[in-house]
Amino acid sequence: MEVAVKSSLTSIHAPISVREAPFTKPKLLSFQFHPRPNSSISRMLKKTPSNSKLFPTMSSPVPSSVSTESMEKPEAELEAASQEEKFDWYAQWYPVMPVCDLDKRVPHAKTVMGLDLVVWWDRNESEWKVFDDSCPHRLAPLSEGRIDQWGRLQCVYHGWCFNGSGNCKFIPQAPPAGPPVHTSMKACVAVYPSTVHHDIVWFWPNTDPQYRDIITKKQPPFIPELDDPSFTKHIGNRDFPYGYDVLIENLLDPAHLPYAHYGLVNAPKPQVKSDREGGGPIDLSVKKLDSQGFFENQDHFGDTNFIAPCISYASSSPGDAPEKGSMQKRMAFVFICIPVSPGRSRVIWIFPRNFGLWIDKVVPRWIFHLKYNLVFDSDLYLLHMQERKFMDVGPANWQKACFVPTKSDALLVGYRRWFNKYSGGQVDWKGKYCGALPPTSPREQLFDRYWSHVVNCRSCNAAYKGLNALEVILQVASLAFIGVAAATKQNANTMVVMAVVCFAGSRWLARFISKNFHYHDYNHAFR
- In a shared domain, residues 434 and 492: no
Residue type, 225: E
> Considering the chain, what percentage of its residues have pLDDT values greater than 70?
80
Judge whether residue 48 has pLDDT over 50.
Answer: no
Q: What is the pLDDT of residues 407-447, one digit of tens each?
A: 989 999 999 999 999 998 889 999 898 878 999 999 999 99
State whether 198 and 290 are in the same domain.
Answer: no
What's the CA gap between 451 and 238, in Å, rounded? 9
For residue range 102-132, what is the model confidence (pLDDT) as tens digits?
999 999 999 999 999 999 999 999 999 999 9
Task: Look at residue 149 and tell me whether its pLDDT is greater than 50.
Answer: yes
Q: By residue range, what is the domain housing residue 143?
A: 94-216
Residue 60 belongs to some domain of the structure = no
In a domain, 304, yes or no: yes
Domain of 385, CATH number, reads 3.90.380.10
* 25-34, 240-249, 260-269, 449-458: least confident range: 25-34
Tell how strand 302-307 and strand 191-192 pair up: unpaired
Does residue 449 sit within a domain?
no
Q: Quick one: pLDDT at residue 84? A: 55
Nearest to 173 by CA among 190, 186, 189, 157: 157
Residue 203 and residue 296 in one domain = no
Which of 41-55, 207-221, 251-265 has the highest average model confidence (pLDDT)? 207-221
Report the predicted TM-score, pTM, of the whole model to 2 decimal places: 0.82
pLDDT at 489 over 60: yes
In this predicted model, what pLDDT tens digit does every residue of 353-372 receive, in sequence order?
988 888 988 999 999 999 99
Q: Which long-range contacts (CB under 8 A, 24 or more apart) does 504-511 make?
A: 505/474, 506/471, 506/472, 506/474, 506/475, 506/478, 509/467, 509/470, 509/471, 509/474, 510/471
Least confident of 100-104, 300-304, 442-446, 459-463: 300-304
The reply to whether 400 and 502 lie within a common domain is no
Q: Taking all residues of the chain, what is their mean pLDDT, rounded to a whole number?
A: 82
Structure confidence at residue 361 (pLDDT) = 87
pLDDT at 247 over 60: yes
- Phi/psi of residue 218, nearest 5 degrees: -145, 135
Domain total in the chain: 3
What pLDDT, on the 0 to 100 scale, is given for residue 302? 58
Please tell me the distance from the alpha carbon of residue 283 to that of residue 254, in angstroms, as a whole number: 11
Residue 72 within a domain: no
User: Using 50, 70 and 90 to split pLDDT, how confident is the model at 71?
Assistant: very low
Q: In whole angstroms, what is the distance from residue 299 CA to residue 321 CA?
A: 17
Point out which residues pair with 348 in neighbouring strands: 237, 336
142 shares its domain with 185: yes
Distance (Å, whole) CA 440 – CA 91: 32
Q: What is the CATH number of the domain that holds 194?
A: 2.102.10.10
**248-285: per-residue pLDDT in tens?**
999 999 889 999 999 888 766 667 778 888 888 888 88
Residues 251, 386 within the same domain: yes
What is the DSSP-derived secondary structure letter of residue 164? T
Query: Among 9-13, 235-239, 477-481, 509-513, which is the least confidently predicted range?
Result: 9-13
Q: Note whether 421 and 483 are same-domain residues.
A: no
Higher pLDDT, 267 or 82: 267
Q: Are residues 146 and 183 in the same domain?
A: yes
Strand order in the sheet with 115-122: 108-112, 115-122, 127-132, 191-192
- CB within 8 Å of 400: residues ≥ 6 apart: 45, 47, 48, 50, 57, 393
Give the residue from 199, 216, 233 where a domain finishes: 216
Note whether 513 and 471 are within 8 A (CB). Answer: yes
Clarify whether residues 391 and 424 are in a common domain: yes
Q: What is the band of 474 on the pLDDT scale with cuts at 50, 70, 90?
A: very high
Domain boundary among 381, 412, 441: 441
Among 372, 406, 441, where does a domain finish? 441
Please tell me whether residues 237 and 363 are part of one structural domain.
Answer: yes
Q: Is 188 exposed, middle or buried (0-12, 13-18, 19+ CB in 10 A)?
A: middle
